[in-house]
Chain A
Amino acid sequence: MIRRNYSLFAAFVILLGLHAAPAFAVNPDEMLADPKLEDRARDISQELRCLVCQNQSIDDSDADLARDLRILVRERLVAGDSNEEVIDYIVERYGDYVLLNPPLKPETYILWVSPAVLAFLALIAVIAFYRRKQREDGAGPKSLSAQEQKRLDEILGTSQDRS
C-alpha cells in the first residue's frame, strides 16, 4: 500500500515537472513583431548578465535595468545591428563582466585552459596508478626466503618429509 502511494507520488512529481516551462521575464510589450528579430533578441539576452542580480541573464531578470537593456538590444537589432554588434555595444559600456560566457583572451586563458590541464594531470595520475598496480600484480607474491621457508617447515614439522 505504502509502495503504491509512493509511486503515485513519484508520478505526480514527474507530471509537475512536465508542466514547468522555463520562466522568462520578457514582457509582451517588449517583444518585436518580427519573430526572426525577436528570436535573435532572445538569444542575445540569454548571453547577457543582469548587473543588478548578477546571476541571472537579462532575459530572466525582472530588474528595471534588465528591462531597459532588453529594450535596447531590440532597438539595436531593429536599427540593423548584427548580434555581435549588439553584444559589443553592451560590452563597451559594462565590460566583459556582462557576458555570461567569458571570452577567450589573455586575461582569461587560465580560466579556459585550467580544466583541460587538470583533466590531463588527473589522467596521467590514473595511468601511473594502474601501471604500478599492474607491475606489482604481475610480479605475484614473492616466494619465501630461505630463512622463512625454514621457519615454516619447523612450524609444520615437515622438514624431513620435504627433503
Chain B
Amino acid sequence: MRFWIAVIPLVLFAALAGVFLMNIGKDTSVVPSALLDKPAPDFQLPPLPGRDRGLSRADISKGEVSVLNVFASWCIPCRAEHPLIKRLAREADVPVYGLNYKEKDPQDGVNWLDELGDPYTAVGMDLSGRTGIDFGVYGVPETFIIDGSGQIRYKHVGPVTNEILEEVLLPKIAELKG
C-alpha cells in the first residue's frame, strides 16, 4: 500500500511529462480544418478587374488534383511565401488557383500580382470574405490541396516555407496524383 502511494504520483508525473514533451514545438494556434476530406464548398467568384476568368467550384473539381492558395495584398506573410507558390506551380504540375481574400480595393490584387508575378491558373476575387469563411479561412495565407473529385485533402495555414513545400505539399500532391 505504502509502496503504491509513493509510486502512483511518480507514474502520473511521468505520463504528464511525456504528454508535454510530445507537444513541445507544436504550434497550438493552428486549428485543424473542419473541412478535411470533405467536399470543397460551392462558390462562384468574379475575376480580378481587367481579367476574363474568375474562379468557381467547377474549376477545382474537374477530375485533376489542384491547389487553392488564399492570398491578399495586405498580407505580409503572403509576400514572403509568394516565390514558393511560384515554385509550387512550376514543380507540382497541377493547376494552382488563387483566392484573393478581402482586398480593400479590387485593383490591389492586380497590382500585387503585376509586381510579384502571377503563378495562378485563375484567380477569384473574394471581396466580402464570404467564400473564405466557407473554406474555414481564419488567417491568410492558407493553402488547400484538393483532389480530382473536389474534396479538400490537405490544408496548410500560414506561409509556405521551403521545408513545407518540399516535405509536405509536393509529396502530398504526388501521392494524390497517384
Contact = CB atoms under 8 A, between A and B. Distances in A.
A51 interface: yes
B139 A95 contact: no
Contacts of A65: 129, 133, 138
Interface string A63-89: 011001100100000000000000000
Contacts of A92: 34
A59 to B, nearest CB: 17
A94 B29 contact: no
A92 B42 CA distance: 14
A95 B34 contact: yes
Which of B130, B133, B135 is the most central at the interface, judged by chain A CB atoms within 10 Å of its CB? B133
Interface string B10-35: 00000000000000000001011111
A94 B129 contact: no
A93 B135 contact: yes
A12 to B, nearest CB: 39
A54 interface: yes
A95 B32 contact: yes
A51 B133 contact: no
- How many residues of B sit at the interface, in one of the four size bands? 10 to 19
Dominant secondary structure of chain A at its interface with chain B: helix
A69 B133 contact: yes
Given A65-B138, A93-B34, A95-B34, 12 more contacts: A64-B102, A65-B133, A69-B133, A72-B130, A72-B133, A93-B41, A93-B134, A93-B135, A94-B31, A94-B34, A95-B31, A97-B34
Interface of B: 29, 31-35, 41, 102, 128-130, 133-136, 138-139
Interface of A: 51-52, 54, 64-65, 68-69, 72, 91-97
27 contacts: A51-B31, A51-B138, A51-B139, A52-B139, A54-B29, A64-B102, A64-B129, A65-B129, A68-B128, A68-B130, A72-B130, A72-B133, A91-B34, A92-B34, A93-B34, A93-B35, A93-B135, A94-B34, A94-B136, A94-B138, A95-B31, A95-B32, A95-B33, A95-B34, A95-B136, A96-B34, A97-B34
Query: Which 10 A/B pairs are nearest by Cβ-Cβ distance?
Result: A95-B34, A51-B138, A93-B136, A97-B31, A94-B136, A68-B129, A94-B34, A65-B138, A93-B133, A52-B138
